[in-house]
Amino acid sequence: MIRVDLRSDTVTHPTPEMRRAMAKAEVGDDVYGDDPTTNRLQARAAEMLGKEAGLFVTSGTQGNLVSLLAHCTRGDAFLVGDRAHIYQSEAGGTSVLGGIVMKTVPNNADGTLNPADIRSAGAKGDYHKPRVKVLAIENTQNLCGGVALSPKQVAAHVEVAREMGLKVHLDGARLFNAAIYHRVDARKLTAGVDSLTFCLSKGLSCPIGSVICGSKEFIDEANRWRKILGGGMRQVGIIAAAGLVALDSMIDRLAEDHENARKLAAGLAEIEGLELDPKSVQTNIVRFSVPSGKGVQIARGLYDEGVYINPGEMSLRVVTHYGIDREDIDYTLEAARRVVAAVMGKSVSSPKAGRNGRAAAGQNGASARTAAARR
């Protein structure tokens, strides 16, 4: 039984207010541009992020794909961090479907890319080379531990890109987490970027969807690509309604997730065998190292205690979100102390008991593998 699901902020469920808004959403055929709720969401998102227009898409992956397809043609290239989600975890979609080359630039631990690396990877070449068109950045940077680029850091990337005649695309799947961390209006983190995508279905708790924002011209082109990819949906206002609730009421509360992540990080750092620097935790993602080869066992042990995390060999990630409270963090830390001690061959003190005094449901390794498959 899942007691605490820390696999991702994508596991969040819609809030009661979202469900009410979805039930009474005014709808139309969005492929005709007739869905009033979706139109409101797109306009609201664009306004909040200082862009001319917005486009609702099915997922963050589709948002990035549509954006890069709209910026590039076959044989073009874009620069992307070597730890970026677009490069690591989107199945090479831009190359598969768009014939677009990904040129990686090393990510620094703080999520940034070095200007010298951007200049060298993006330098114009003769006809032997793919033509580099775009610089893609990510904020917050998931694989770097949810670190949040500041307005100044974003501006520095934009400046180098401009100097080189490149467009800038921002994968802002968790953009509002970055804005909350830096205590800035999100527009400060999108200034100068040509396109961006942010996810409604992560910390903002919506069941489905992301929004792309950019100029009207860019969004027209993105709309064409969304259609090509089969992403034109009809009475999608039912889903967009949840997005409007999220933009109104779910952004400020991300601070709670960040606080819970810091508390979790501080507790995990005290467990012998786990390694992390709690000061490096900025938003809702905590990454930590485990002794080599023990990650799967630790994840499985936690699973047996009702705490779900994605298994990994040497490094594990936990993500806080709506629905996780301080009590869940305490429970997770207690479970982690027991599990890590057991995996490390130390004595285990307290019995496996849940918050309500009930024994946590035991699951076997096969279930842990199922969790991995859902990653």
Ligand X SMILES: Cc1ncc(COP(=O)(O)O)c(C=O)c1O
Q: Please report, as ranges, the residues that interact with ligand X according to CB under 6 A.
A: 10, 59-61, 85, 138, 142, 171, 173, 199, 201, 210
| Burial degree of 125 (CB within 10 A; 0-12, 13-18, 19+) | exposed
Residue 56 near residue 243 (C-beta atoms within 8 A): yes
Residue 12 near residue 202 (C-beta atoms within 8 A): yes
What is the smallest separation between the CB atom of 360 and ligand X, expressed in angstroms? 27
15 or 139: whose CB is closer to ligand X? 139
What is the smallest separation between the CB atom of 263 and ligand X, expressed in angstroms? 22
10 or 315: whose CB is closer to ligand X? 10
What is the smallest separation between the CB atom of 351 and ligand X, expressed in angstroms? 35
60 or 311: whose CB is closer to ligand X? 60
What is the smallest separation between the CB atom of 85 and ligand X, expressed in angstroms? 4
55 or 199: whose CB is closer to ligand X? 199
42 or 61: whose CB is closer to ligand X? 61
What is the smallest separation between the CB atom of 9 and ligand X, expressed in angstroms? 8
Which amino acid is present at 143?
L
Q: Measure Cα distances from 116 to 14, 102, 121, 138, 156 in Å.
A: 43, 18, 9, 18, 12
What the block records as the tokens of 197 is 């995508």
C-beta neighbour count of 124 within 10 angstroms: 9
Residues in the chain: 375
| Chain centroid, CA 99 distance in Å | 25
Query: Which residue is closest to ligand X by CB?
Result: 60
What the block records as the tokens of 283 is 């938003």
